[in-house]
Structure 1
Amino acid sequence: MESPFKAGILKGKVALITGGASGIGFEISTQFGKHGASVALMGRRTQVLHSAVSVLQSLSIPVFNSLFFFSPMATFLQFNSLFAQFSLPSTLTNHISAILFNLCRFIQNEAVGFEGDVRKPEDAERVVESTFKYFGRIDILVNAAAGNFLVSAEDLSPNGFRTVLDIDSVGTFTMCREALKYLKKGGEGRSSSSGGGSIINISATLHYTASWYQIHVSAAKAAVDATTRNLALEWGTDYDIRVNGIAPGPISDTPGMSKLAPDEISSKARDYMPLYKLGEKWDIAMTAIFLVSDAGKFINGDILIVDGGLWLSRPRHLQKEAVKQVSRSVEKRSRNAPVGVPKSKL
């Protein structure tokens, strides 16, 4: 589908995207790259990051994978070696090198993958720092890492409940906190004349009323929305940072949908949707581009719902025993998955 935005609308911007190597996060990474941004992908699984890098390369988006410690600045090195042939004062040479280094970063957008778990503060700090060191600035943070599965409340363990909150809620706050010094107006890597950056937190609509067999995610996303609005108030006022959320509905062909609505029930879900169809990852990515571009420069503290109107209705389209059967089948497939694929229902 053709984008409604100009190809260079995000030119010169650097975005860090958690969960950026799969599902909705990967589509956002891809579209940001296609629209001129340099992107850093954060994910827990090395193999998934490798696969994401390969796909981005196949789409002609320049990709340089930090897992292999491959320098993206080949052009800079060529220029630098050329200037080394001249007898110039060291201070002048260093100044020219610095200019060329930063220029080469933004002549061509790039993407890089960093392995890390948003539940671990040390990983969050390391990935944010690595992104800044790699690109020299951070303009956008997208928190798309999430955990989800269908389960009735009485069958949900405290650990399962806590894990989803740790990924979605605590992970989102931790990443925001670590990125603050780079996103705020006048922060590291930002010129005194440039404003603050932008944060997007991927949420949901499950907690707007109530949702069957989703108590853990409903609680987690309610916390994410509260975080979004509070940071928009505090950091918008103090640091000129815009903080917004996107609440997707059922999105086809994502890991989440394979767990929440496998083939056993996905066809029934469409019957209850006002638009009678599932959304696409592209829909969420276009919303993200709108929010972080100048088109959304006066939007702050909002959560944009992109679900075709589904949240207006909460039908019980699956009985409890059917949920248990689906949950067991998903868990069985996870346990039988090849090495390198996550084996829990998360």
Structure 2
Amino acid sequence: MTFGNDILKGKVALLTGGGTGITGGVARAFAAHGARIAITSRKDESLIPQRQFIEENGGECFAIAADVRDYAAVEDAIAKTADHYGQIDIVVNGAAGNFLCSADQLSANGFGTVVDIDTKGTFNVCRASFVELKKSQGQILNISATLHYLATPMQIHVSAAKAGVDAITRNLSVEWGRHGIRVNGIAPGPIEDTEGIQRLLPPELKAKLIKKIPLQRLGRIADIENAALFLASDAASYINGVTLVVDGGQWLLGTRLG
């Protein structure tokens, strides 16, 4: 899909986990459509190539190392971004953790780590950005998943974490709508050009997975970029509290590959 290259002109977008993967793609798309970008990750080294790419392509990018599980670090990242750009209009919560593990083999620490990154991290960033978003009457986009809509074996930790993210999206859309803040989510299905799918999906299961998708293909990061651009634009100004599923209809047919 083609959007006007100025649809986010004048906006400042902060994206957690914005150095790589799906959120990295969204950061690049936002920059290409006029937004000034701030990206965070736990480690500086994952941010450097992204910042260089955005700047080499004519955009602005401010990179801050911050662990979303640490509320003080999140507050600091928000403050530095607001000081650097003078405003924050869009927050994208994309920091996440994932691995395959059956429930009977999953440690309490492994479960807790994913929930801390995905659910607690999402809340931390939303809460810390509230004052700036209230000033700008801005918006939040939470990157979720479809794993918890039915049941996904080997993914109880991520399913629980993303169910919490969806609850945060719905609750904040109601509580903060009166401040002019929109809160929405995006639930990607299987996205072919991500490290997660390449690492977690054995080649022999790829064909089976595609057969379970009504559109008969895996998604691309560009599909999520387009959804994010739409939700972040003025065209979606009356959309609030929605988690937009971008999965080709896959979740409707279930998650088992056998």
Q: TM-score, normalised by structure 2?
A: 0.97
SS in 1 for 2:239: coil
Q: Distance in 1 between matches of 2:193 and 2:87?
A: 33
> Contact (CA 8 Å) 1:149, 1:259: kept in 2 or not?
no
Residue 161 of structure 2 corresponds to: 220
> Contact (CA 8 Å) 2:151, 2:255: kept in 1 or not?
no
> Contact (CA 8 Å) 2:11, 2:36: kept in 1 or not?
yes
Q: Distance in 1 between matches of 2:203 and 2:45?
A: 26
Q: Distance in 2 between matches of 1:118 and 1:297?
A: 27
By how many angstroms is 1:257 displaced?
Answer: 1.1
Change (3 A) 1:315 1:27: closer
Taking every aligned residue pair, what percent have the same amino acid on both sides?
Answer: 50
SS in 2 for 1:155: coil
By how many angstroms is 1:57 displaced?
Answer: 3.5
Instruction: Tell whether 2:223 aligns with 1:283.
Output: yes
Residue 34 of structure 1 corresponds to: 32
Measured against aligned partners, the alpha-carbon deviations of 1:207-259 in whole angstroms (never above 9, x if no partner) come to 1111111100110010000000000000002x110000000000011122123
Residue 208 of structure 1 corresponds to: 149
Q: Distance in 2 between matches of 1:251 and 1:316?
A: 17
Note the 1:318-333 alignment, pairs <5 A. Answer: none
By how many angstroms is 1:122 displaced?
Answer: 1.4
Segments of 5+ residues of structure 1 without an aligned counterpart are 63-109, 191-195, 319-346
Match for residue 127 of structure 1 among 50, 74, 77: 77
> Contact (CA 8 Å) 1:42, 1:116: kept in 2 or not?
yes
Match for residue 175 of structure 2 among 225, 234, 255: 234
Q: Which amino acid aligns with 1:274?
A: P
Q: Which amino acid aligns with 2:101?
A: V
Residue 117 of structure 1 corresponds to: 67
Residue 263 of structure 1 corresponds to: 203
Residue 61 of structure 1 corresponds to: 58
By how many angstroms is 1:315 displaced?
Answer: 4.4
Please say which structure displays the higher CA radius of gyration: 1
After TM superposition, the structure 1 stretch with the greater mean CA deviation from structure 2, 304-313 or 263-272, is 263-272
Measured against aligned partners, the alpha-carbon deviations of 1:167-196 in whole angstroms (never above 9, x if no partner) come to 000000000000000001xx2xx4xxxxx1
Q: Which amino acid aligns with 1:26?
A: G
Measured against aligned partners, the alpha-carbon deviations of 1:277-335 in whole angstroms (never above 9, x if no partner) come to 110111111111111111000000011000000001224326xxxxxxxxxxxxxxxxx
SS in 2 for 1:154: coil
> Contact (CA 8 Å) 2:67, 2:74: kept in 1 or not?
yes
Residue 344 of structure 1 corresponds to: none
Q: Distance in 2 between matches of 1:175 and 1:314?
A: 32
Q: TM-score, normalised by structure 1?
A: 0.72
Q: Distance in 2 between matches of 1:292 and 1:242?
A: 9
Match for residue 153 of structure 1 among 93, 103, 115: 103
